[in-house]
């Protein structure tokens, strides 16, 4: 998903990290916003499982028909469906030099399977960026989010409004409110995060793969903090 202020290749690192970069955090932590910027900066593919499902729903595929009712209720899609989709994507040529994950893994099973897939493709150690944010901010960020229909550019009516209401600054297309960004469904999504995804913090911490990132800072500051971590990883490759 694209972001309206994405940094355009400031670092010029074209060789790739050779690793999976995971943005781990609750709905509204800013994973999509940062994943887009980092993917551009390091020339890596941005893999968003949420976007993959929304694309399948729009195309009315069998996978999309399975995912739709679960996403509408704010529940996770079953692991076996997610894993098949992800394994196919990682197998594509553009992922050979690493990739940025936004929204995956979300369960311990998904994390185990990702490690297996990374070994299979001989990728280096996974880098997990834990987007730490005060839960009280999340409802406002998500209810205020608007997404451009054509290019996926992300706005926020409170924090980062478009110049013309309802219209994308970048490509002039309509801005939409994601159906799962209603208060009731956001509550369910946050609950699913606490129950099924939060245990991954301990999982990655115990493997010494987790680096916390202050995701409450302004988006540019968060991007710079992440870039320092990734530049350090490249320097020590």
Catalytic (active site) residue 163: no
For the chain, what percentages of helix, strand and coil (3-state, to nearest 5) are there? 50, 15, 35
Q: Which stretch binds ligand AP5 (CB under 6 A): 5-13, 139-147, 205-213, 228-236?
A: 139-147
Q: Quick check: 222 binds ligand AP5 (CB under 6 A)?
A: yes
Paired with 108 in beta bridges are none
Q: Which stretch binds ligand AP5 (CB under 6 A): 89-97, 138-146, 200-208, 229-237?
A: 138-146
Q: How far apart are CA 14 and CA 166, in angstroms?
A: 36
CA triplet 39, 220, 27: central angle to 5 degrees? 70
Catalytic (active site) residue 65: no
Q: Quick check: 189 binds ligand AP5 (CB under 6 A)?
A: yes
Q: Quick check: 50 binds ligand AP5 (CB under 6 A)?
A: yes
- Among 6, 24, 27, 210, the residue binding ligand AP5 under the rule CB under 6 A is 27
Which of these is catalytic: 37, 41, 106, 146? Answer: 106
Q: Quick check: 82 binds ligand AP5 (CB under 6 A)?
A: yes
Which of these is catalytic: 37, 141, 145, 146? Answer: 145
Q: How far apart are CA 77 and CA 69, in angstroms?
A: 9
Using the structure block, give the residue that is written with the tokens 């801005």.
Answer: 175
């Amino acid at each position: 998903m694209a972001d309206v202020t994405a940094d355009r290749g400031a670092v010029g690192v074209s060789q790739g990290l050779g690793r999976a970069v995971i943005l781990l955090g609750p709905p509204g932590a800013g994973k999509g916003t940062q994943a887009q910027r980092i993917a551009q900066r390091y020339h890596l593919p941005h893999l968003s499982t949420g976007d993959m499902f929304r694309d399948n729903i729009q195309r009315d595929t069998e996978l999309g028909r399975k995912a739709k009712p679960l996403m509408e209720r704010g529940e996770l899609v079953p692991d076996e469906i997610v894993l098949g989709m992800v394994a196919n994507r990682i197998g594509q040529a553009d992922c050979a030099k690493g990739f940025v994950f936004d929204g995956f893994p979300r369960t311990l099973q998904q994390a185990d399977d990702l490690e297996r897939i990374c070994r299979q493709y001989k990728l280096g150690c996974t880098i997990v960026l834990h987007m730490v944010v005060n839960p009280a901010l999340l409802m406002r960020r998500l209810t205020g989010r608007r997404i451009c229909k054509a290019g996926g550019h992300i706005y926020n009516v409170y924090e980062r409004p478009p110049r013309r209401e309802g219209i994308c600054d970048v490509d002039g297309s309509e801005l939409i409110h994601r159906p799962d960004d209603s208060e009731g469904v956001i509550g369910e999504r946050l609950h699913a995060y606490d129950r099924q995804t939060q245990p991954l913090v301990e999982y990655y911490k115990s493997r010494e793969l987790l680096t916390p990132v202050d995701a409450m800072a302004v988006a540019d500051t968060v991007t710079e903090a992440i870039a320092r971590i990734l530049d350090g990883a490249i320097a020590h490759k």
